[in-house]
């Protein structure tokens, strides 16, 4: 179908949870979803920042329906608490797995649960959250799980035997591995939903991927305390304007992935010109679509979180 990112379809009465909805891409994803009439829950580890983001959305979207949820993806205890709340939701139309560490140091760090911190934040916590929220997703007709991928997966192949970066750590490698894991998970989730449908369970859940291209602060609309632009940011953006876009536009693929009714599962949405442009369908990496890799990531994630995720 033809998709107009400036006028997504109305979503009145529907509920979406956006992890990391307090800043960056997550904030603009939440703001754009709120503009459709949806009820949007901002999941963030900082209640204060989530509250600031909620106030900003209300100030920019008339009649916005916003709530907040405390969630630290790097702590499985926090994920369990938040996921238990989601499981009790009367309806959950969309779970947007957006939050993630995008910068880091040259030193490998671990989460409170002993996992490499980038993988814990960007993938393991999201896998656990999805498993915990699954009851609410499956009882909501036409629900959707959206995972955020990255162009970094085009630049580095994963090492399935070292997904926690115990050897040869660099932040870029750890980040790319976490995004390979997310992409493999979403496509494997779609595969398992289809298999369950074959056996008569028929969970009405669609799993879709999105990536933002190259989205930078310097081209992003001002949102005081959330999206601020320094003179240096604006100067840097001027030099990159033909290859980048603001985070508001970087959020557009995620919004389409969450709302486009023509999607049947397993799609990837990204900018038309790879790093910038309107949101269009693209092809995930071969690794992401591999049954072997998807099954491997799923089994690893179940081991990491200490529970099965049965679709």
Q: How far apart are CA 227 and CA 52, in angstroms?
A: 11
The DSSP result for 184-235, as a single string, is: HHHHHHHHHHHHHHHTT----EEEEEE---SEEGGGSPPBTTTB---HHHHH
Q: What pLDDT is attached to residue 250?
A: 97
Q: What pLDDT is attached to residue 236?
A: 67
User: Where are the strands (E) in the chain, listed by range?
Assistant: 15-19, 39-44, 65-70, 94-97, 143-148, 205-210, 215-216, 245-246, 268-271, 279-282
The C-alpha angle 195, 197, 201, rounded to 5 degrees, equals 115
When divided into structural domains, the chain yields a total of 1
Whether 264 is covered by a domain: the verdict is: yes
pLDDT tens by residue, 249-273? 999 999 999 999 999 999 999 999 9
Q: What pLDDT is attached to residue 110?
A: 96
Whether 254 is covered by a domain: the verdict is: yes
Whether 309 is covered by a domain: the verdict is: no
Q: How far apart are CA 241 and CA 200, in angstroms?
A: 50
Q: How far apart are CA 47 and CA 66, in angstroms?
A: 13
The CATH number that applies at residue 253 is 3.40.50.720
Whether 260 is covered by a domain: the verdict is: yes
Q: What pLDDT is attached to residue 227?
A: 80
Q: How far apart are CA 21 and CA 46, in angstroms?
A: 11
Q: Which residues of the chain have pLDDT under 70?
A: 1, 198, 232-240
Whether 182 is covered by a domain: the verdict is: yes
Q: 181 burial class (0-12, 13-18, 19+ CB within 10 angstroms)?
A: buried
Whether 226 is covered by a domain: the verdict is: yes
Q: What pLDDT is attached to residue 102?
A: 76
Domain boundaries, position 200: 15-304
Give per-residue burial for 232-250: e unless 16+ CB within 10 Å, then b.
eeeebbeeeeeebbbbbbb
Q: What pLDDT is attached to residue 237?
A: 64
pTM: 0.95
Q: 91 burial class (0-12, 13-18, 19+ CB within 10 angstroms)?
A: middle
Q: What pLDDT is attached to residue 79?
A: 99
């Amino acid at each position: 179908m033809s998709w107009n990112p400036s006028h997504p379809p109305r979503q009145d009465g529907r509920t979406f949870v956006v992890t990391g909805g307090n800043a960056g891409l997550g904030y603009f994803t939440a703001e754009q979803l709120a503009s459709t009439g949806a009820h949007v829950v901002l999941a963030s580890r900082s209640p204060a920042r989530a509250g600031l983001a909620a106030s900003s959305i209300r100030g920019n979207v008339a009649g916005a329906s916003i709530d907040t949820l405390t969630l630290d993806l790097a702590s499985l205890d926090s994920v369990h608490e938040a996921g238990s709340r989601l499981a009790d939701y009367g309806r959950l139309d969309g779970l947007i797995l957006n939050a993630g560490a995008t910068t880091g140091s040259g030193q490998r760090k671990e989460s409170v649960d002993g996992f490499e911190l980038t993988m814990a934040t960007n993938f393991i916590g999201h896998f656990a959250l999805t498993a915990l929220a699954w009851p609410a997703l499956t009882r909501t007709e036409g629900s959707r799980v959206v995972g955020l991928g990255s162009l970094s997966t085009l630049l580095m192949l994963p090492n399935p035997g070292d997904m926690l970066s115990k050897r040869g750590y660099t932040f870029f490698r750890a980040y790319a591995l976490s995004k390979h894991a997310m992409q493999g998970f979403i496509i494997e989730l779609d595969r398992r939903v289809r298999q369950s449908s074959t056996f008569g369970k028929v969970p009405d859940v669609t799993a879709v991927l999105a990536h933002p291209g190259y989205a930078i602060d310097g081209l992003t609309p001002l949102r005081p305390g959330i999206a601020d632009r320094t003179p240096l940011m604006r100067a840097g953006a001027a030099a990159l304007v033909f290859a980048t876009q603001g985070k508001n536009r970087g959020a557009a693929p995620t919004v389409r992935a969450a709302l486009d009714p023509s999607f049947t599962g397993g799609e990837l949405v990204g900018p038309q010109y790879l790093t910038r442009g309107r949101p269009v369908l693209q092809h995930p990496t071969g690794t992401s679509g591999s049954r072997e890799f998807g099954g491997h990531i799923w089994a690893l994630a179940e081991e990491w979180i200490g529970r099965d995720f049965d679709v």
